[in-house]
Amino acid sequence: MTMHQIRNIAIIAHVDHGKTTLVDQLLRQSGTFRENEKVAERVMDNNDIERERGITILAKNCAVTWQGTHINIVDTPGHADFGGEVERALSMVDGVVLLIDAQEGPMPQTRFVTKKALALGLKPIVVVNKVDKPGSRPDYVINAAFELFDKLGATEEQLDFPVVYASGLNGWASLTEGDAGEAWGTDMQPLFETILRHVPAHQGDPAAPLQLQISSLDYSTYVGRIGVGRVNSGTLKPGMDVLVCEGTPEEGGKTFKGRVNQVLTFEGLNRVMAESAGPGDIVLVNGIEDLGIGVTLTSVDNPQPLPMLKVDEPTLTMNFCVNTSPLAGREGKFVTSRQIWDRLQKELQSNVALRVKESGEDGIFEVSGRGELHLTILLENMRREGYELAVSKPRVVFHMVDGERHEPIELVTVDVEDQHQGGVMQALGERKGELVNMETDGRGRVRLEYRIPARGLIGFSNEFLNLTRGTGLISNIFDSWEPYKGEIAGRKNGVLISMDDGEIFTYALGKLDDRGRMFVKPGDQVYEGMIVGIHSRDNDLVVNATRTKQLTNFRVSGKEDAIKITPPIDLTLEYAVEFIDDDELVEITPKTIRVRKRFLKEHERKRASREAA
């Protein structure tokens, strides 16, 4: 395949602006699937959690052929927490398709991915998606995109971006805005033509020394570790001896020799064997067991290593520790500190934005990531694999700058109905938020932009859903490091703590119903120190959750009152991690999520609070 017949693009956008749906249409309309083939929606989201939540977590590769040109497509995540995936994906491509929702316009993650793309010198194609939606405003979106590019220091060439109007869901694109049903397109041809016209073919010499940087990893039980990356220059063939370099000589990384077993390329969603691969080809290679992300496969005789991939540092950290509760080991297959440590080390091989280190305490590991979602997705994967562990409240990572403590500041965008604006502004103000912009759309909604310490957002999403009755949209992105902003008030309510081990009975819950909302239901097992509910007041209260009714021979005339209890709060992993305080832990097993006090005995908790004071 000649170089001019290859194009490499990444689809980038804010979360839920339609990246994966658009890729579906590109695959369908390029003839990738047979006419009678049954294909799932969002076919690129092939991970269970991605399908359940409707989000993309891992960057995925596929390829289509259009008019004789092989187009490699990388579908990237939209959440800021998975920014490490976006940064890696952009290292493999020569152009980006920037999707922007025709109603929402540029959002925080749009800013993040655009900044990364512009810094790499990539020229974006702006696709205004969902233009057939009621309330769409394409002119506003294009002007806002131009202003965003200008603020981010785009070059003249980058500012002169082509615009395509599209509906990914309905499978059409158009180069003119038009009115409904008038100038709208019938298929994706205008987008394909724009990609071929504006995305440059990769420039590289097939006769030069090999240079291939590994951008992501996969694993197969048959061939072991698989590296994915773009051939920058040279030619790669199966059975070829290569030098594996961890960065340039100046970076001081180690080098070792290896032999490539197979070379595969993408065709549609499939991987096919290739006899050779040249500049611009995105390939999969196997046979080298110690491959890592960012390493360069290069010529043994004339090595040309590339610098290691750089990704932004984590802003949030949590303690992962062995589960020590009285119910430990009943549901999980992997429960020891060594098993948890090995699993975290395995995750580090492909999750570049994660950091793991041992703490001073036995069986406790400090795990740092980009945000709550980044870490809770890892925990959800671990519990599904059979791991059992306990985790602490998330804490932000502080940096020391000239002897002063600096903390991460997030840029938050909030879309709410006018009637909820006051409550949201008050809540963000209490969390040290600073209002930087406010816009109304004239249709009963307002957009607020805040700069707020990352600490202030921990535990805020549930409060935000309650404040906006589920109608609000919130998104955030890391902005900068700034001096510590002072204390932020924590959880307003105390908790109800079980005083005993045993089984929950309806009678006990009936007696506790006016004390607060419960996390447990009749039949659940509890233990001393386990949190069974939220107290209606601001103090912690030790309660008897295993109390049973004393049976006597004495009966009153008439029917006894039926015990009425309020349905319990559904304790999800995300809710539990946001809910807990500094002296509490979330106990995670394959079947159950529980919350507990770090010290289970009441006298131990009192002693710890005295020492802390």
CB 464 within 8 A of CB 424: yes
CB 573 within 8 A of CB 588: yes
Three-class SS of residue 121?
coil
User: Residues 62-84, buried b or exposed e (16+ Cβ, 10 A)?
Assistant: bbbebeebbbbbbbbbbbbbbbb
DSSP string, 530-590: EEEEEESSSS-EEE-TT--PPP-S---SSPPPPP--PPPP---HHHHHHH--TTEEEEE-S
Structure tokens at 299: 């010529």
| 131 known member of a binding site | yes
DSSP string, 15-66: TTSSHHHHHHHHHHHTT-S-TT----TTTT--SHHHHHHT---S-EEEEEEE
| 501 known member of a binding site | no
| 399 known member of a binding site | no
Three-class SS of residue 266?
strand
Specify the pairing of strand 355-358 against strand 282-286.
Answer: unpaired
DSSP string, 268-329: BTEEEE-S-B-TT-EEEEES-TT--TT-EEE-SSS--PPPPP--PPP-EEEEEE---STTTT
Distance between CA 61 and CA 73 in Å, rounded? 6
Q: Which of 62, 12, 74 is nearest to 33 (CA)?
A: 62
Distance between CA 77 and CA 345 in Å, rounded? 23
| 16 known member of a binding site | yes
Distance between CA 230 and CA 248 in Å, rounded? 18
**Which one-letter DSSP state was computed for residue 104?**
T
CB 306 within 8 A of CB 249: no
CA 380 to chain CA centroid, Å, is 12
| 526 known member of a binding site | no
Distance between CA 609 and CA 584 in Å, rounded? 13
Sorted by sequence, the CB contacts under 8 Å of residue 559 that are 6+ apart come out as: none
CB 563 within 8 A of CB 517: no
| 17 known member of a binding site | yes
Distances (CA, A) of 34 to 37, 39, 269: 5, 10, 13
Structure tokens at 167: 């509906």
| 20 known member of a binding site | yes
Q: Which of 324, 323, 397, 389 is nearest to 355 (CA)?
A: 397
DSSP string, 165-206: EEETTTTEEESS---TTTT--SSSHHHHHHHHHHSPPPP--T
Which residue(s) pair with 100 in the sheet? 128
| 317 known member of a binding site | no
The torsion defined by the Cα of 521, 526, 529 and 533, in degrees rounded to 10, comes to 0
Phi, psi of 376 (to 5 degrees): -70, -30
| 130 known member of a binding site | yes
3-state secondary structure 332-355: CCECCHHHHHHHHHHHHCCCCCCE
Distance between CA 317 and CA 414 in Å, rounded? 25
CA 488 to chain CA centroid, Å, is 26
Binding residue positions for GTP? 16-21, 129-132
Annotated binding site: 16-21, 129-132
